[in-house]
Structure 1
Amino acid sequence: MTLKTLDGALALLTYFTVRQPTWGVRELAKHSGVHHAVVHRVLATFAANGFLLQDAASGKYSLGLRLFELGQVVRKTFSPAEVVQPVLEKLAAQSGETVFLSWLDGHEGLCVGMVQSQHQLRFSIELGQRFALHAGAHAKAILAFQDDAFRARVLENARQRGEAAASVAGLALPLWSRDQAEVVGSLAIAGPQQRLNEESVPRMLEALREASRRLEEVVGFGR
């Protein structure tokens, strides 16, 4: 297998997301622009090695247990759950709002940790969900510290789209790489505008700063 072939195969794997967890061969071929025969071979190979599962009835593919296994390795090496999750839970309790940790992946953000608000009216994001970097405090905290070419590409892809939700407000802080050279993620609080107001923001911001410092110590973001 050439590097070009491997690159194309891995690109097909990235189409499996939280919002679109299953694909049929022809469906994925049409969406990706790759010939259906190639898609069939790639998906069948991934399935044979445990990276995908094929439903016997529908013929559609979904992510397999081998990826789940590798995901647990990433989770342990990237963000120790026994420390990160309690930090997120404490921040959610202090703020009363949804809290989430995001990671920069390519030209998008990826939600890698979260705790939902207990309020009935709350900001909703799913663990493992990708998001564009042009809208929302959690995204802009990452985008603001990228170079000009990176920002230009993100904003070009945005195509005049607005914020994620007009009634949602957010607070976010950037998280830095170990060598302090670049911002690679963000920690954010989000909720309805009526609850994130002038009275509550200073208190939430202080809690956010403390949680960010704690995460930097554990995850290795450090300034």
Structure 2
Amino acid sequence: MNVKQAANVLELLEFFAAHQRPASLAEIAKHFDWPRSSTFNLLGTLAQRGYLYEPRPKAGYYPTPAWATLIGKVEQAQPLPKDMRALLEQLVADTGETAVLAAVSGSDALFVETVESPHSVRYAAPVGKRVPLHTTATGRTLLSQMRADERAGVLRKVTFEQYTPTTLMSADAVEAEIAQSMQRGWFQGNAEFTPELGGVSMALAFGERRFALLVAGPMYRVSHRLPELAVHIRQRIDAYLAEHAEESGS
């Protein structure tokens, strides 16, 4: 599903985030290959609502602080777990690989906080990235925290596409992998969605909210280290929950 008007607003914000300067109607229309009339209507609507302004007359449009205020209020209502970025930074320091916090978004796992590895060759994991629940260690970690009927409902809607030779291709295979992973104590990524990418994921419950904590990198660096990565994640989660027992509801 892709609602064009909503997508245009998001693409416009991404444009300003990338360019970090005002832009004229003509420049924006040319950049996106949008009709001038619809570009004019979009910019005019956002300006009228207080979300765009002209820093100098005729210098072009730029987002106002209203965006930050709005997002700040949204975040205050459902904040990420406290000190979560620090936890991810610790895991990167421990392992040398990318660390990710993910949550469920429909049939996908959505990356809500990330810290990437310092290596030049690394798992690129920007905030907002989505990966399928059924084909990734991150996703199966999140599926494991659902009730059986909820998980079955998600898997009934899945299109089992062969992304790589190791992709799990049925709901039964996913269920078996979840059961094996829960018995082992951690979830393993084996290049099932992205070729040559592997890692370890574990569940992190914070009150009623459910997350997955992932450490991942190129298979040639992590395939022989999976139990070691699991130990690092377990130690950091246990220390984090002990420190934040009241907030996490433990």
- TM-score, normalising length: structure 2: 0.60
1:80 and 1:219 in contact (8 A); partners too = no
Residues 150 and 93 of structure 1: is their aligned pair in 2 closer, same or farther, counting only changes over 3 Å? same
The match for 2:222 among 193, 196, 212 is 196
Whose RCO is larger (CA < 8 A, sep 6+)?
1
Change (3 A) 1:177 1:87: closer
In structure 2, the partner of 1:205 is 230
> Whole-Å Cα distance in 1 between the matches of residues 115 and 121 of structure 2?
14
Number of aligned positions between the proteins = 198
Specify the structure having the higher radius of gyration (Cα): 2
Q: What whole-Å deviation, never above 9, does each CA across 1:101-151 have from its counterpart, x for those lacking one? A: 112223332212111111222111112323332332222211344521122
Partner residue, 2:183: none
| Structure 1 unaligned blocks of 5 or more | 1-7, 30-35
Find the counterpart in structure 1 of residue 79 from structure 2. Answer: 78
The 3-state SS of whatever aligns with 2:100 is strand
Q: Provide the alpha-carbon RMSD of the alignment.
A: 4.1
Cα 1:219–1:28 change in 2 (3 A) is: farther
- TM-score when normalising by structure 1: 0.66
Residues 18-57 of structure 1 show CA distances to partners (whole Å, capped at 9, x for unaligned) of: 9x93586xx799xxxxxx97x9867743442244679x99
Deviation, structure 1 residue 167: 0.6
Cα displacement (A) at 1:218: 7.0
SS of 1:120 mapped into structure 2:
coil
Matches within 5 A, 1:39-188: 44-51=44-51, 65-75=65-75, 77-79=78-80, 83-144=83-144, 145=146, 146-153=150-157, 155-156=158-159, 159-162=161-164, 163-176=192-205, 178-179=207-208, 184-188=210-214
CA contact (8 A) 1:99 1:114 kept: yes
1:17 & 1:215 partners in 2: Cα distance? 37
Identity %: 23
